[in-house]
């Protein structure tokens, strides 16, 4: 589907002028990241990488992605409450993947003790690509759902005016007016604020649990500022702070530095390198508390790749969402082929198929954060090495989605201005709040479009591969 500004893509002078305007507009709007050299200092910052031009997104697929988000919210919440499903689905994975096993052990320990938490907050992002079929028709296909630390809801709230400015400079004012407003940071903060309110302690704070290296702090600040605007106090702490200064009081209320914590919003804790023994102990303390965790550990487990693969099996969605046939149909329509590598004849067969034709598939470990998936020759080598080992059960296989590339310019600090063949990935943010068994809030909260050059198989914005984008819906 051609963009209505293709005529200017080859006009070098116009593109140079637009790129200069774009960078200034990004800095003006706060599309910012800290630098690699000074990742914890805000006195040296640069613009977050982004596309010069918006990318075309088919309206029907855009609307489909929004329409199914509430269904995915319900599904993630249902999985998080289903101890037997998680236990059965992750049984093979936790034997070989220590990280998932440790999360699961904390989950079981907290359930045995009895949950102190009664309000549950989910902030997730369901990511899709537009798969181009043999007849050229694009279809919405889910890549994954992120249930912990789903990022860029803040910065993507600020890219629309940047792209509007660029289109106007290029003489495309009519097209600029068609860019849709988008403010996920407001939607995410709405969910956090509702959970804070239901917790029921007006003096309690919201704690952002953050990483040691915080290059993407401005993305978080967008959400944080929305909370301050609602007069909700926010503190930023690391696992180490929780280990050293966190405690549980009466009714397992969580205290940090003597302040009661109503909501813990995780922007870390999703990969093994986030944990040492002290951090695991801090995570257990948080999970045992009455505070609203976003996510609680069961919801983090609901986002694992093994769960994603299990959901594609016939009958699984129906068992998790009984009486919701329409929701099941909407969810299933977004699935691509997902395959188990469990030990046995089925796993042997799919492993052999992938080794013989690796370009058909993606090999996915149980990890978040981008840059973990394996493709092509690397996929084949790894599978050949582990094909007869139980280690293979820590991965799943997925059909490779093949979108139609489009031309764009990817703007990065200190990088030459050159046109690239690009593919895009659409994420829809979902927010839900449940109090005991009652769903109090369930909504789609905005979108994120990321674009990368076709030569980069895997990786997001934080991983340094994809860049921020704005959908031009047609």
Distance of CA 263 to the CA centre of its chain: 20
With b for 16 or more beta-carbon neighbours within 10 A and e for fewer, the 66-98 pattern comes to eebbbbbbbbbbbbbebeebbeebbebbbebbe
Catalytic one of 124, 126, 151, 442: 151
The residue annotated as part of the active site, out of 144, 211, 268, 310, is 144
Q: Is 369 a catalytic residue?
A: yes
- The helix or strand, by DSSP H or E, that contains position 445, with its residue range, turns out to be strand 438-453
Rg (CA), the chain: 22
From residue 375, alpha-carbon distances to 46, 67, 358, 464 in Å are 32, 31, 7, 18
Contact present, 210 and 145 (Cβ < 8 Å)? no
User: 285, 297 in Cβ contact below 8 A?
Assistant: no
Active site includes 364? Answer: yes
Residue that has been written with the tokens 């009081």 in this structure:
249
| Catalytic-labelled residue, pool 368, 425, 430, 442 | 368
> Where does residue 138 rank: exposed (0-12), middle (13-18), buried (19+ CB within 10 A)?
middle
Cα 457 from Cα 362, distance rounded (Å): 10
> Reduced to 3 states, what is the DSSP secondary structure of residue 104?
helix
CB–CB of 66/126 below 8 Å? no
Residue pair 207/228 in contact (Cβ under 8 Å)? The answer is no
DSSP 405: P
Which of 92, 126, 146, 289 is flagged as catalytic?
Answer: 146
Place of tokens 């694992």: 304
HEC string for 351-369: HHHHHHCHHHEEEEECCCC
Check if 146 is active-site. Answer: yes
3-state secondary structure of 134: coil
Count helices and strands in the chain by DSSP H and E runs: 18, 20
Give Dmax (Cα) for the chain: 67
Which residue among 194, 293, 305, 434 is the active-site one? Answer: 305
Catalytic residue among 288, 290, 364, 452: 364
The answer to whether residue 144 is catalytic is: yes
Q: E strands within 11-137?
A: 32-34, 45-47, 50-51, 55-57, 119-132
- Cβ atoms of 176 and 168 within 8 Å: the answer is yes
DSSP code, position 400 = P
Helix (H, G, I), strand (E, B) or coil at 403: coil
Active site positions, annotated: 125, 144, 146, 151, 305, 364, 368-369, 450
């Amino acid at each position: 589907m051609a963009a209505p500004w293709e005529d200017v893509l080859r006009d070098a002078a116009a593109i140079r002028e637009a790129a200069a305007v774009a960078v200034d507009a990004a800095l003006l709007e706060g599309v910012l990241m800290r630098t690699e050299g000074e990742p914890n200092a805000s006195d040296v910052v640069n613009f977050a990488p982004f596309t010069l031009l918006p990318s075309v997104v088919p309206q029907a697929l855009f609307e489909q992605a929004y329409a199914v988000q509430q269904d995915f919210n319900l599904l993630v919440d249902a999985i998080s409450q289903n101890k037997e499903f998680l236990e059965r689905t992750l049984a093979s994975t936790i034997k070989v993947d220590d990280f998932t096993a440790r999360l699961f052990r904390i989950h079981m320990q907290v359930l045995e003790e009895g949950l102190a938490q009664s309000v549950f907050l989910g902030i997730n992002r369901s990511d899709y690509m537009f798969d181009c079929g043999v007849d050229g028709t694009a279809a919405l296909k889910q890549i994954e759902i992120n249930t912990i630390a789903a990022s860029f809801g803040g910065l993507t709230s600020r890219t629309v005016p940047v792209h509007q400015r660029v289109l106007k400079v290029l003489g495309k004012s009519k097209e600029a007016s068609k860019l849709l407003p988008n403010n996920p940071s407001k939607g995410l903060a709405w969910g956090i604020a509702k959970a804070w309110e239901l917790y029921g302690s007006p003096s309690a704070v919201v704690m952002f649990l953050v990483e040691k290296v915080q290059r993407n702090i401005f993305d978080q600040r967008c959400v944080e500022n929305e909370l301050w605007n609602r007069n909700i106090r926010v503190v930023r702490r690391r696992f180490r702070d929780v280990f050293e200064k966190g405690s549980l009081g009466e009714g397992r209320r969580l205290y940090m530095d003597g302040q009661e914590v109503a909501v813990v919003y995780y922007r870390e804790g999703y990969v093994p390198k986030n944990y040492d023994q002290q951090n695991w102990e801090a995570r257990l303390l948080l999970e045992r508390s009455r505070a609203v965790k976003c996510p609680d550990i069961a919801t983090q487990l609901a986002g694992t790749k093994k769960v994603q693969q299990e959901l594609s099996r016939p009958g699984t969605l129906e068992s998790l969402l009984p009486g919701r046939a329409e929701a099941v149909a909407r969810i299933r329509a977004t699935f691509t082929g997902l395959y188990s590598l469990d030990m046995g004849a089925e796993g042997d067969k799919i492993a052999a198929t992938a080794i013989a034709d690796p370009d058909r598939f993606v090999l996915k470990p149980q990890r978040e954060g981008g840059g973990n998936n394996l493709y092509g020759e690397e996929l084949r080598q790894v599978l050949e090495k582990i094909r007869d080992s139980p280690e293979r059960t820590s991965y799943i296989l997925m059909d490779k989605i093949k979108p139609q590339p489009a031309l764009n310019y990817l703007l990065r600090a200190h990088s030459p201005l050159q046109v690239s063949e690009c593919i895009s990935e659409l994420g829809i943010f979902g927010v839900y709040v449940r109090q005991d068994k009652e769903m109090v809030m369930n909504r789609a909260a905005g979108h994120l479009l990321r674009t990368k050059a076709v030569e980069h198989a895997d990786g997001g914005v934080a991983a340094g591969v994809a860049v921020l984008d704005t959908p031009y819906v047609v």
